[in-house]
Structure 1
Amino acid sequence: MTHSENKVLADIEAQMERSDPQFSRGLDSGQPCSPREYRRGPGWLLLALSLVLVVAGFALPQGLLLATGLVLAGVAQEYLFDPARGHTWFRRLHTP
């Protein structure tokens, strides 16, 4: 490979290391984990927490708990079921 091709590959490797270090370390060891875009554990945790808050909001007549649970359910569904998973809505808000 030429020097310029090696430089391009080194740049790609450095960018991958910065964006998802756990995935990069897994590739180096030969046992890659799934990329960050496919990790959904925190989303399921948010969904479970929102369910607990909604049930608590119904059991105790607390509208604030119920509303918090519903908002967290919306956040969790965005995290779990967004096909883009690149948070493009955030980028769209902040681009001129």
Structure 2
Amino acid sequence: MPRSEDERLVALEARCACDDPLFARAMSIGRPRRPREFRRTGAWWALAVTTAVLIGGVIVANGLLIATGLVGVGLAAQSLDPPS
């Protein structure tokens, strides 16, 4: 016996609320918010900080800072890559 459309919508809403509660709450009050996959504010901050560490390492000629900056910039840039 096929399920009703209301049951499917309730199941979809419950799954969305479990996956991304902020998005589900924003949709329920009528003010949509970008889903978690497309919120990248933290990644931009990480990129800015690690770029500053990299530049600081180059200025003071410290290999450890340069290596840390390169690894951090790589990780931050990878987190900016859109989900496939």
Pair in the same fold by TM > 0.5: yes
How far residue 78 of structure 1 moved from its aligned partner, in angstroms, is 1.0
- The number of residues matched between the two structures is 83
Q: Comparing both chains, which one has the higher relative contact order based on Cα–Cα distances under 8 Å and sequence gaps of 6 or more?
A: 2
4+ residue runs of structure 1 moved beyond 3 angstroms?
Answer: none
Say yes or no: does 1:61 pair with 2:61. Answer: yes
How far residue 4 of structure 1 moved from its aligned partner, in angstroms, is 3.7
Say yes or no: does 1:39 pair with 2:21. Answer: no
Which structure 2 residues correspond to residues 1-96 of structure 1 after superposition, within 5 A? 4-80=4-80, 82-83=81-82, 85=83
SS in 2 for 1:45: helix
How far residue 25 of structure 1 moved from its aligned partner, in angstroms, is 0.6
Task: Give 2:39's aligned amino acid.
Answer: R
How far residue 5 of structure 1 moved from its aligned partner, in angstroms, is 2.8
Unaligned runs of 5+ in 1: 87-96
Task: Give 1:31's aligned amino acid.
Answer: R
TM-score, length-scaled by structure 1: 0.76
Matched-pair identity in %: 40
